[in-house]
Amino acid sequence: MNKKKKKIIRISIILAVLVAILLIVLISRGNRKVGAKQFVVENVDEMEFNPFLSTENRLDNSLLEYGKVLTKYKQKGYTDYKGEDIVVDMNSLEGVDGGTFIRLTEYEGYEEGIKFHDYREKTDVTVDCTGFPDAIYTEADGTYVTFTIDVPESALYSLDLDYLILPAKDSDMYVGITIDNKLPFKNASNMTLKRMYGFYNTVLSENLDISGNQIRPKSQELLGWQHVTMSNPEGVYRNNYKMYMKAGTRKITLHFYNQPGAIGAIKFTAPQVLQSYDEYVSANGGINSTYNGKVIRFELEDPDYTSSVSIRMEYDNDYCSSPQSFKVTRYNVFGGERWSTGGDSVQWTFEVPEDGWYQLGFRYESMTTNVAAYKDIKIDGEIPFSELSEYCFPYADGWIGDALKMPDNSPYLFYLTKGEHTISVTNKLGPLRHTYYSIESSMDSITDLINQVARITSSTRSSTGGYVVDRNRDWDLEKNIPDLQEDLDKYVELFSKCYSDISKCNGGKLPSYGSAVKVALELFKKMADDMEKVPISLNDINSALTGLSNTLVAIREQAITVDYMELSAKGYNYKKARSNSWQNFYVGLVRFKDTFIKDYSSVGQREKTKKDMVTLEVYVSRGREYVDILRNLVSEQFTPDYGVKVNINMVNGSEGLIMTRYVAGTAPDLAIAIGAGIPFEFSVRGALLPMENFKESYDLENGTHVQGFDELVANSFYEEELVPYLYQGKHYGFPETQNWAALFYRTDILSELDVTPPDTWEDVYDLVPILTKDGYSFYFPYGVGNYSPFLYQHGGEFYDPDGLTSRLNTEAAYDAFVEYANLYLQYNFVYAADFYMRFKNGEMPVGIGDMGFYCKLKYSAPELNGKWKILPVPGHTVLNDEGEVVVDRSNGGAGSCNIIISSTKHPEEAWQFIQWWSSDAVQAEYGREVEATFGVASRWNPANKNAVSTLPYTMEELDVIYDQWEWLKESPSTLGGYYTSRYLVTALNQTVLQGKNARVALEDAIKEINKEMKRKQKEYKIPEGGSVLRETVTP
């Protein structure tokens, strides 16, 4: 053997040894025991009073947060009631102020039984109501009942209810209580009774696509009686609510609203006092018969029920997740980021083979770095001992298997009898409630400080919304704000404690949201050391407020994902819960290989296509999970009912591709999620089919009803929604989504100012000076799109009826233009502002927003819950056709639409898909699934007016949306119409920003608009006397 070969062999051996060592190291690191060290922190419900509001402790309890009322109870020495339950005679209930209610037995349809279809069991289920013969029916619009009780002693009581929520929307029933006509605490006006949801299509063999991937099981509402002790619906407090009642006869009034339901029993009970773990052990005879059998594993992806439609099964690709999901999709875990809302509960059923003491553990994964999760754990409906009240799941990096354990990290043991048991887990805020409310109270005070300093220093706003302060002047703020130094010191003390508590409550780890508190701490420390820095730090303070607001959202999100629960002998080691590096490498290799061979277009397809089956190609410009939901609906409903296969192609920027592929002869049959301006541009080029071509029919083989265009519009849509898609008398697009606008206002601030929200623009103009005097402002978005409401409310139009010339030369258009410009010239509206932030911090307590703004407030501004409402947008008073004075609130809201490409070989099948996709039932179900997947932040906004009523808006909010849509007014598209927006922006900027005469600026714009419209009409051969918008008749 020559030297060269020997050298190669030596090098090969060395490399092999190094690789082997590396693999051993990687595997050993993967198998290392990952610490999830348990810890304990002080955890009480009593809350501190606002340090920036010295009189808060003297406020009436009805105005105070529950935790602060508890503090007052403690200061006064009130004790818990310990006697027998006070059971309310349901026959003693009366209406309030002449109001009435009916018994459940009088509820329409009760004689046939309250039923629901259990899709899992594939049968109708009748709810047993015999246990509550005197139950009352409560309406969604609100039912008040009143009664008196004899209170045996002055003490603190809990309120228990047995209830049944009836089918309606995916929203909860709300409960309010007054005792002797007063709220016992502020939160008592909106307590919550939750729904129950289960899953179906969970049998794996019955729910696979043609590639072997599991199709996501669907959720369904489960009807049934539930017993609850009233508590904070968002899991803010550790214990159930307590209400103080004096001995004697007390008048109780209950208000049930938001969802229909039934109340079977009402009781006032002794507040629950949990035993300790040591007491639990003693009560069960001591630990003398521990289980010593094999480990019993229970998969957790399929629970008995959840309290929210948003919580669901998920899939995880980790090698050790059970069952495995990295080769083909299996929904093998539960929870995740969507299981983060406080108060949400999940219950599972499990079975044990014998009586004994069991160690109980979970395989779980923390979803946010360095964030511990606090949960109530109940077994058989009860928290067995106090240590499982707001039990902490410590943060661990990646998946971990761990027992429920004591602060010293030894496992708890649970005494279980042979047979079935239940375990439920409920999200709680835990001891971070103190940090949460401390930050929230500081934000209100900081906002007041900003407003005070801005007024004293006469600070102005730049075009970007920032404060502009004279840096060369000594303001001597302490003369005008005597408590400034004291307040700055309080901020420093408060943020220092919050920063420390965030770390303590997460086991000594600091989550990313803690950095915002650190920034605020350092900022206020700098200003406390030198108060002259306050005026020049206004923008920094505003930024700090933004960070603190985000912190409030993040503190509430303590999500974990669970895979399975294991019951075992004491001391069981969960070493197989975490995959090693070699296993991770293998998973990555398999998934990488799949990217080359997997047919992703077949994901969700249940059956192979029959040779003679029509296949539609559909383009969708939405994210993957939106498309997956649609594919699932198509596979379950459309293809079986209509006998048409649908290939749904997720194509980003599909609008730009369609015309190119139309010219090339490779266009899809239809497209959805298309922008409102696209159909007109495509239709003038002959690329689309008019929707009027399609009529009602029953001509499918299985008799499936196909709605025609006219029928579908008449039943489920506003005709005005179709205006943007009009070309020569026909409509070339069909509405899919629709926005809405509303007046958003801060109830707390307007109440403090003693003003009512405006109904007309005259009301707005009267309100502006009041707002300005106190440092507030009104928000109205700056831009040409917001000129439209003024134009239409003044009776104007953008174009003549044929769409040939601009109608902006009318007096109505000019008056509207001047009024809109005067918002910024005369009333000093801010034309560049972050309405969301300024609404949150109170600088802009009233303004115009849309659905996106609504969703953002609902999701990202929990500190404003109960402090804002919506109303229809302000309008102008006019006389209607009957001669009555009404407020014209004309406003647009065009969203996306669906189109059929003219080159399709299957026009009838394409229409069948659009009318199915646009139907009431499908849009309602899609909206439900979208909200279950993404939460309220991404609520679906269907153009189908009937489907909107199924979304979880409150009745009050729905009334506003529908009232506003009654004034829906959309703008048509026309040839050269893009010049309208372009030159209106120019005219508006010249008038508002450059001081040009409004009439001259508008007339200059009209000349350019008409010139371009004429040029485009000539290009597309529109004859003299012809029409772009109306149907033309050929002689």
Q: Per residue in 787-841, pLDDT tens?
A: 999 999 999 999 999 999 999 999 999 999 999 999 999 998 887 788 988 898 8
Q: What pLDDT sits at residue 458?
A: 76
Does 781 have pLDDT greater than 80? yes
Does 701 have pLDDT greater than 70? no
- Give me the mean pLDDT over the 1014-1029 stretch: 93
Count other Cβ atoms within 10 Å, centred on residue 47. 22
Please provide the average confidence, as pLDDT, over all residues in the chain. 90
Q: What pLDDT sits at residue 624?
A: 85
For residue 738, give the DSSP letter. Answer: B
H or E segment at 10? Answer: helix 3-30
Domain 741-782+829-892 maps to which CATH number in 1.10.3720.10, 3.40.50.360, 3.40.190.10, 3.30.1490.100?
A: 3.40.190.10
pLDDT band at residue 882, thresholds of 50, 70 and 90? confident
DSSP-H helix ranges across 457-580: 484-504, 514-529, 538-556
Who has greater pLDDT, 5 or 148? 148
Please say whether the dihedral angle defined by the alpha carbons of residues 599, 602, 607 and 608, taken in this order, is positive or negative: negative
Using CA atoms, how far apart are residues 1019 and 657, in angstroms rounded to an integer? Answer: 23
Nearest to 350 by CA among 416, 279, 420: 420
Output the 3-class SS for 248-266. Answer: EEEEEEEEEECCCEEEEEE
Beta bridge partners of 421: 350
Using CA atoms, how far apart are residues 358 and 298, in angstroms rounded to an integer? Answer: 14
Please say whether the dihedral angle defined by the alpha carbons of residues 881, 886, 891 and 894, taken in this order, is positive or negative: negative
518-522: long-range pairs with CB below 8 Å, 24+ = 519/544, 519/547, 520/491, 520/495, 520/544, 520/547, 520/548, 521/492, 521/495, 521/496
Count other Cβ atoms within 10 Å, centred on residue 125. 15
Beta bridge partners of 422: 349
- Give me the mean pLDDT over the 1008-1035 stretch: 88
- CATH code for residues 277-429+564-586: 2.60.120.260
- Give me the mean pLDDT over the 494-515 stretch: 95
**Residue appearing with tokens 């017993």:** 227
pLDDT tens-digit profile of 527-566? 999 998 998 898 899 899 989 988 998 999 999 999 999 9
Q: What pLDDT sits at residue 480?
A: 86
- Give me the mean pLDDT over the 100-119 stretch: 86
Does 32 have pLDDT greater than 60? no
Q: What pLDDT sits at residue 461?
A: 66
Does 1 have pLDDT greater than 60? no
Does 14 have pLDDT greater than 70? no
Q: What pLDDT sits at residue 1035?
A: 45
Q: What pLDDT sits at residue 699?
A: 56
Contact between residue 225 and residue 162 where contact means Cβ atoms under 8 Å apart? yes
256-287 burial, b at 16+ Cβ within 10 Å, e below that, comes to bbbbbbbbbbbbbbbbeebeebeebbeebeee
Pairing assessment for the beta strands 644-650 and 614-620 based on DSSP bridges: parallel
Who has greater pLDDT, 63 or 207? 63
The reply to whether 608-737+895-952 and 741-782+829-892 are identical in fold is yes
Using CA atoms, how far apart are residues 493 and 438, in angstroms rounded to an integer? Answer: 11
Using CA atoms, how far apart are residues 429 and 536, in angstroms rounded to an integer? Answer: 37
pLDDT band at residue 869, thresholds of 50, 70 and 90? very high
Using CA atoms, how far apart are residues 723 and 725, in angstroms rounded to an integer? Answer: 5
Q: What pLDDT sits at residue 636?
A: 82
Q: What pLDDT sits at residue 279?
A: 97
Fold classified for 78-269 = Jelly Rolls (2.60.120)
Nearest to 375 by CA among 407, 414, 350, 343: 343
Asked, as a colleague might, if the bond just before 679 is cis with ω within 30 of 0, I would say no
For residue 669, give the DSSP letter. Answer: S
For residue 897, give the DSSP letter. Answer: E
- What is the separation of C-alpha 832 from the centre of its chain, rounded to a whole number of angstroms? 27
Does 1033 have pLDDT greater than 60? no
Which of 202-206, 487-491, 880-884 bottoms out in mean pLDDT, i.e. has the lowest? 202-206
- Give me the mean pLDDT over the 177-181 stretch: 97
Output the 3-class SS for 106-158. Answer: HCCCHHHCCEEEECCCCEEEECCCCCCCCCEEECCCCEEEEEEEEECCCEEEE
At position 799, the amino acid (one-letter code) is: Y
Does 696 have pLDDT greater than 80? yes
Q: What is the DSSP string of 913-956?
A: HHHHHTSHHHHHHHHHHHHHHH-GGG---BS-HHHHTTSS--HH
- Strands, E, within 729-845: which ranges? 730-731, 734-735, 741-746, 778-779
- Give me the mean pLDDT over the 704-715 stretch: 93
Distant-in-sequence, close-in-space partners of 39: CB < 8 Å, separation ≥ 6 = 392, 394, 407, 507, 508
- Give me the mean pLDDT over the 295-306 stretch: 95
Using CA atoms, how far apart are residues 147 and 943, in angstroms rounded to an integer? Answer: 45
Residue 152 structure tokens = 């045996």
Using CA atoms, how far apart are residues 893 and 833, in angstroms rounded to an integer? Answer: 21
For residue 477, give the DSSP letter. Answer: G
Residue 280 structure tokens = 């639990």
pLDDT tens-digit profile of 444-478? 889 888 888 888 887 766 656 677 887 778 878 88
- Count Cβ atoms within 10 A of the Cβ of residue 866 and give its class: 0-12 exposed, 13-18 middle, 19 or more buried: exposed
Using CA atoms, how far apart are residues 351 and 418, in angstroms rounded to an integer? Answer: 7
- Give me the mean pLDDT over the 150-165 stretch: 98
For the chain, give me the number of helices (H) and strands (E)?
A: 25, 42
At position 898, the amino acid (one-letter code) is: N
Pairing assessment for the beta strands 191-193 and 155-165 based on DSSP bridges: unpaired
Please say whether the dihedral angle defined by the alpha carbons of residues 397, 398, 401 and 405, taken in this order, is positive or negative: positive
- Count Cβ atoms within 10 A of the Cβ of residue 103 and give its class: 0-12 exposed, 13-18 middle, 19 or more buried: middle
Residue 904 structure tokens = 């399709």
Domain extent listing, the chain: 78-269, 277-429+564-586, 434-556, 608-737+895-952, 741-782+829-892
pLDDT tens-digit profile of 343-394? 999 999 999 999 999 999 999 999 999 999 999 999 999 999 999 999 999 9
Beta bridge partners of 919: none
Nearest to 29 by CA among 510, 561, 585, 511: 585
For residue 1024, give the DSSP letter. Answer: T
Q: What pLDDT sits at residue 157?
A: 98
Fold classified for 608-737+895-952 = D-Maltodextrin-Binding Protein; domain 2 (3.40.190)
Using CA atoms, how far apart are residues 841 and 1030, in angstroms rounded to an integer? Answer: 49
Does 310 have pLDDT greater than 90? no
DSSP-H helix ranges across 635-742: 639-642, 654-664, 678-683, 709-716
Beta bridge partners of 382: 379
Phi-psi region of 356 (alpha: psi -120 to 50; beta: other; left: phi over 0): left
Nearest to 677 by CA among 942, 981, 286, 953: 981
Nearest to 866 by CA among 233, 163, 138: 233
Looking only at Cα atoms, what is the longest distance across the chain?
Answer: 111
